[in-house]
Amino acid sequence: MDKHALNEALEKLADNPARSASELARSCLRMVAETALHAPAEDLETLQTLLAAQAHQMIEAHPSSAPLGYFLKRWTNRVAELSQDGLEEARCKAAEYALVLVHESSSAVRAVASRAREIIGEGRVVITHGLSSTVMEIFHQLKESRVRAIVTESRPSLSGHQLAAQLSAWAIPTTLITDAQIGLFVRRADFALVGAEALLGDGSVVNSVGTYLLGVAARDQDVPFYACCESYKWRPADSEEFALPALDEAQLNSPQLPHVTPVNIGFDITPARLVTGWITEHGIPRSFLDVSARRR
């Protein structure tokens, strides 16, 4: 692919405002591809330093996002190996490899969705929490299968509104609830499905805050709870080592009061013992199930 063709490819992959972990990774890959093509650099080494710095900055800005780290590290390693190439050729190769990874990510998401579709079957009710491009793709693949959705608004990002809009465009009957209504509605669902920002060593699920409440309510009411995500979201950390980043409190529009501290943590961890199964592009990994079974 030459520079012009790459530019066109990048324009087609327009940035989606959705910010699920996988979307974020793909969108950052598109950005580094753009930088590879256009960044001011007189020689290859300067370009490589600059690209490595940008990738590093992106990873640091989203420490909880497993796919972002996974893909950008693979990309940076490949870029570092481009020492035999001329500057222009290296620019194209770096950008092209980023787009290959975008494709790899999208394919993995579609593969996860297609396994989930088999498990769910026809005419079922699915409840979800948070915005996951994997869960969105599952609904996409189920839209002809009389699926119905229960979607939480997911305060404070209100990403549930975005998901509801997409489901509405696919004519999927959707019930939109506040996060606090999870307990009332989980019993009306055949399956609880969530995506993941990351999977921890034992299969615990890092996802939008409130996912743990869906997990614990689903267990209490005997509704199967599946984490649906690409296998590269797994990271060997323990729950205790995993820092949950606090987001901007201003998002909450809380009143300013002298003795009151508003807190806005964006993620929580659902322990593996609450997860019925992990649906990945390779199937359901036995190791998580074993860990989970031992822990119950």
Q: How far is the CB of 32 from a copy of itself (least distance, A)?
A: 32
Burial letters for 142-161: b for 16+ Cβ neighbours within 10 Å, e otherwise? beeeebbbbbbbbbbbebbe
User: What is the b/e burial string over 233-261, where b = at least 16 CB atoms within 10 angstroms of the residue's CB?
Assistant: bbbebeeeebebeebeeeeeeeeeeeeee
258 is an interface residue for a copy of itself by CB under 8 A:
yes
Asked if 173 contacts 148 with a C-beta cutoff of 8 angstroms, the reply is: yes
167 binds a copy of itself (CB under 8 A): yes
Q: Judged by CB under 8 A, which of 178, 250, 287, 293 binds a copy of itself?
A: 178
One-letter amino acid of 253: N
- Among positions 23, 153, 197, 230, the unique one binding a copy of itself when judged by CB under 8 A: 153
Q: Considering the rule CB under 8 A, would residue 260 count as an interface residue with a copy of itself? A: yes
Which of residues 183 and 285 has its CB atom nearest to a copy of itself in the complex? 183
Stretch of 32-40, 47-55, 155-163, 195-203 lying at the interface with a copy of itself (CB under 8 A): 155-163
Is residue 61 involved in binding a copy of itself (CB under 8 A)? no
Site string for a copy of itself, 209-228 (x = CB under 8 A): xx-xx--xx--x--------
Question: What residues numbered 179-198 form the site for a copy of itself, per CB under 8 A?
Answer: 179-185
Q: Is 252 in the site for a copy of itself (CB under 8 A)?
A: yes
- Nearer to a copy of itself by Cβ, of 106 and 254: the residue is 254
**Any contact of residue 156 with a copy of itself (CB under 8 A)?**
yes
Any idea what the Cα angle at residue 149 is, between residues 234 and 112, rounded to 5°?
30
How far, in Å, CA of 1 to CA of 88, rounded? Answer: 12
Q: Does 243 bind a copy of itself (CB under 8 A)?
A: no
Q: Which is nearer to a copy of itself, 203 or 230 (CB)?
A: 203
Write the CB contacts of 68 (distance below 8 Å, at least 6 apart in sequence).
Answer: 21, 24, 25, 28, 58, 59, 62
Query: Comparing C-alpha atoms, which of 29, 80, 37, 87 is closest to residue 55?
Result: 29
